[in-house]
Structure formats: C-alpha cells, structure tokens
C-alpha cells in the first residue's frame, strides 16, 4: 500500500527525488538540491546525521554524542522543496518505482541510494555476534560503557588473571578507525586509569591492535605508516601483524594459527561493506556488496536509480575496484549528481564524475597524527593541528563546531576525558551480524 503520509510540498508540480540515507552523500545531495526544480524526500532510520570520523572520541569519553550529531529537521526546515521522514527502507520495487519501508511505500521519480556501509565480518558470524563495532552513536556509547564497566569490574577481580582479562582490550583492524581508537584508549590508560584507579596496576591494562597486514594504515604512504606505528608504540599499544582472528566467545579470542588471548572486549574495525537493499540485485556486485554504477552514478540496468558513496562501485581510471569508501568521495559524488540532475531538468547532457583524491589523515593521540597530501607526507604536531582543523570544519552545524572545540580545548589543557559516566550500562549480548539498512 502507498504511504498515507502527506508531504508538505505536495503542491509543487515537480519530479520527486527520494534519497535513502542521510550520511555524508545523502546530506550533501539534499543541500545541493535546495531550491532546485525537484521535490526531495530524505528517508533515514535515524532522525540525525552522525559525523562518523569522530565516533571513536564518543566511544572513549572525549566528546558527547550530541556534539557529533545534527538533527535532519533542523537542516531541512528552511528548505521549501525538501522534506524528511524517519523510516527504515526494507526494499525497492523498480518496476512500480516505490521504496518500501517500515512505514509504508514511498513513490519516486528518481531514487538515490546513499545507504552507506556496515561492518564487514567477512562471513564469520561467530565473531559478528560477539564483537563490538563502531558504526553508530549507540555502538560508540556501548564501547564507552564497556570499558568503564571493565575498569570497575577489575577492582573486584579475585586474582590477577581475572583482572588482566578485564583490562585487556583488543581492536581488530589497523585502518584509521582502529589506529585512532587504540591511541585514545592508550591515553586513557596513561592518564585516567593511573590517576583515578589507584588501586589498580595500570600496567595490567593492555591495548592490542591486530591486523592481517604487515603494517598499520596500509593504504597510507610508507612514511606515514611507519610514523603511526612509532606513535602507537610510544603510547604503549601492542601491535600484532599478520594475525587473523577466527573466534571470540566473550572471554577468549582465537587466532587462525591456533593461539588464544583472554579478553572481555573485542572491537572489530577490520572492514566495511555497502548496505544493499533487496530489489536491486540486477545492479549489485554481491562480492563487493556495492552497486555497479556508471560515471553518472546511475545503477547499471536500473533506470532512474542512482547510488552514492560507500554503496556505489564506480570503476574510473586507476580506481578499478571503485573509489575509497570515505567521506570526500561520497561528498564529491553527491555534488556532481546534484549538478547533473539540474542539467537533466534543463534537458542538458550530464557530465561524468571524476574523483579528486584530497589525501588521507589519522590521529594517534595528543600531538600525534599523520597526513598524506599528494606527494607531501608529514606527522607530529603540525599534522595533528591539520587533522583537528579539517574535522572541526567538516562538522555539520555551528553549535557542534563550538562544542567540539571547547571539549577539545578542555581535554588537551586539563589532560582529562570528562564524559566518563555510565549512563546506560552495557550488557553483552548476541548481536545480529546485519544492521537495519537505512
């Protein structure tokens, strides 16, 4: 059945663009289509945009959840031709041209999928049901509660073995998320645990960073990778290369070589895959978990349906395996698609998309970061300040920028992670491997 919800702009006699997903690509697209000759409807299972690059700081008690989130309705409110509905997309019917959601069906003239990515466990459901992940604010809050509860539980541990298991944190995946999370936890060990949990031996807390590659930040330059590894080791992070995790039961981690490690906490940051929606299998590359799109971001073989960002697989030039699943690629694709939709409305030919690699950066604790910008690779405090400025300016909303800047200033001047409240106790449970779509 069609949805009974009436959209406020129904009086506009314009083609309807439905955008599924309000991440970097979806949010950029609706902003670019503001005032353009289309009606636009944004669908998302949440009522807010989340700034994913700073999720690890929410997980490690440096930032509050609301400082990296922005309500969609605050963005959409001034836009006469744009509306928002909180709904979870469950399927697409390209023949009838409708998006099926948990709140009914939404028709479209043009559909844009910007559903983003989810954690990739590479088919290992045993790990997927027990490991923690970091792809949403609720998951970041779970990690925060988990390590704070483990600190408290360590005080009650009956022997050293139990205490060490409570204080043993293992992160799988040495990409930017894993490296940044490991560095933040190491700083907590060196400051908070040492100062505020005086009954504990802080050296019993161990942070492990595990990866199947032979270096951290494998997609960065060798210089930045080497600098990042040095910074991690200076902070006390223990890095284990060429190691593949095959099992986790909540107390014991098992590796492919048969070795084991006792730990209550396993955080999986080893990879992502696109969120595909049932109904568009004809244009999907199942192995890559992304939609095959042409240079205009239209899904191959599916008229009037486009895909952006993490879920789009566009082969262009040297990008034979698709563009990197990062925010700059998503934003660039959204801007080009918005321009092309306006050209289409005017009867003009669309222009093919060309990706411009603006570099990579990652931070590894206070005054430590690495930046790759073309032929320039640098680290240390200059890279750290560059990382802070870029992420601060990329936040959505002036309020969020002010709040984050204030929190950073307080943290780095006082050496304190201020938001260490166990508001919602984390209870380990068998979590589903797959999350809702969008």
Question: Which is the CATH superfamily of the domain at 16-45+87-119+273-345?
Answer: FAD/NAD(P)-binding domain (3.50.50.60)
10 Å CB burial of residue 55 (0-12, 13-18, 19+) is buried
Q: What is the DSSP string of 259-306?
A: -EEE-SEEEE-S-EEE---TT-GGGEETTTTEEEB-TT-BBTT-TTEE
Rounded Cα gap, residues 7 and 415, in angstroms: 49
pLDDT tens per residue across span 375-431: 899 999 999 999 999 999 888 887 888 888 888 877 776 766 667 888 888 877 655
Q: Write the DSSP string, 385-432.
A: HHHHHHHHHHSSSHHHHHHHHHHHHHHHHHT-------SS--------
Q: Give the pLDDT score at 422.
A: 87
The residues spanned by each domain of the chain are 16-45+87-119+273-345, 125-270
**What pLDDT score does 410 carry?**
76
- Residue 253 backbone dihedrals phi, psi, to 5 degrees: -100, 135
What is the token pair recorded at 378? 């640098």
Catalytic residue among 180, 199, 238, 300: 180
CATH code assigned to 125-270: 3.50.50.100
Run of H or E residues at 233: helix 222-235
The answer to whether domain 16-45+87-119+273-345 and domain 125-270 are alike in fold is yes
CA atoms within 13 A on the CB side of 233: 10
Percent of the chain, pLDDT > 70? 94
CA 243/CA 173 separation, integer angstroms? 10
pLDDT at position 311 over 80: yes
Each residue of 241-274: pLDDT tens digit? 999 999 999 899 999 999 999 999 999 999 899 9
| pLDDT confidence of residue 415 | 64
Give the pLDDT band (50/70/90) at residue 1: very low
Q: Alpha-carbon distance 32 to 265, whole Å? A: 42
The mean pLDDT value for 120-136 works out to: 88
The verdict on whether 180 is a catalytic residue reads yes
Higher per-residue confidence, 85 vs 287: 85
**pLDDT tens digit string along 55-69?**
999 999 988 999 999
How many C-beta atoms surround the C-beta of residue 405 within 10 A? 14
Whether 382 contacts 38, CB under 8 Å? no
How far is the C-alpha of 211 from the C-alpha of 349, rounded, in Å? Answer: 46
Average predicted confidence (pLDDT) for the chain? 91
Q: Which two tokens stand for residue 75?
A: 């963005």
């Amino acid at each position: 059945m069609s949805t009974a919800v009436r959209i406020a702009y129904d009086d506009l006699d314009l083609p309807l663009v439905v955008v599924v997903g309000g991440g970097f690509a979806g949010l950029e697209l609706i902003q670019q289509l503001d005032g353009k000759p289309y009606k636009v409807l944004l669908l998302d299972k949440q009522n807010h945009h989340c700034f994913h690059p700073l999720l690890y700081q929410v997980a490690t008690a440096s930032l509050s959840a609301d400082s990296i989130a922005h309500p969609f309705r605050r963005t959409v409110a001034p836009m006469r031709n744009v509306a928002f509905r909180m709904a979870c997309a469950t399927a697409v019917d390209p023949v009838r041209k409708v998006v099926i959601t948990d709140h009914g069906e939404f028709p479209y003239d043009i559909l844009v999928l910007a559903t983003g990515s989810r954690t990739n466990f590479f088919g290992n459901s045993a790990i997927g049901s027990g490991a923690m992940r970091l792809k949403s604010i609720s998951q970041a809050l779970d990690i925060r509660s988990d390590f704070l509860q483990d600190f408290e539980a360590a005080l009650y541990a009956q022997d050293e073995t139990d205490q060490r298991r409570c204080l043993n944190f293992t992160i799988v995946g040495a990409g930017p998320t894993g490296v940044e999370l490991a560095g933040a936890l190491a700083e907590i060990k060196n400051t908070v645990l040492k100062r505020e949990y005086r009954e504990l031996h802080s050296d019993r807390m161990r942070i492990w960073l595990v990866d199947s590659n032979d270096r951290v930040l494998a997609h960065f330059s060798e210089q930045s990778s080497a600098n990042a590894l040095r910074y991690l080791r200076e902070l006390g992070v223990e890095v284990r290369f060429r190691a593949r995790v095959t099992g986790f039961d909540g107390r014991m981690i098992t590796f492919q070589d048969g070795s084991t490690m006792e730990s209550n906490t396993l955080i999986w940051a080893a990879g992502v895959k696109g969120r595909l929606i049932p109904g568009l299998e004809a244009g999907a590359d199942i192995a890559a978990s992304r939609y095959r799109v042409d240079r205009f971001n239209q899904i191959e073989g599916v008229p009037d349906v486009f895909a952006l960002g993490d879920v789009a697989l566009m082969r262009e030039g040297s990008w034979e395996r698709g563009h990197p699943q990062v925010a700059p690629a998503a934003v660039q694709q959204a801007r080009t698609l918005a321009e092309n939709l306006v050209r289409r409305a005017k009867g003009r030919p669309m222009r093919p998309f060309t990706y411009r690699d603006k570099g990579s950066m990652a931070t590894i604790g206070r005054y430590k970061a690495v930046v790759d910008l073309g032929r320039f690779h640098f680290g240390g405090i200059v890279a750290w300040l560059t990382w802070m400025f870029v992420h601060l300016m990329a936040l959505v909303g002036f309020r969020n920028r002010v709040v984050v800047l204030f929190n950073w200033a307080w943290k780095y001047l006082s050496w304190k992670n201020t938001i260490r409240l166990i508001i919602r106790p984390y209870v380990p449970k068998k979590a589903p491997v797959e999350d809702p779509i969008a």
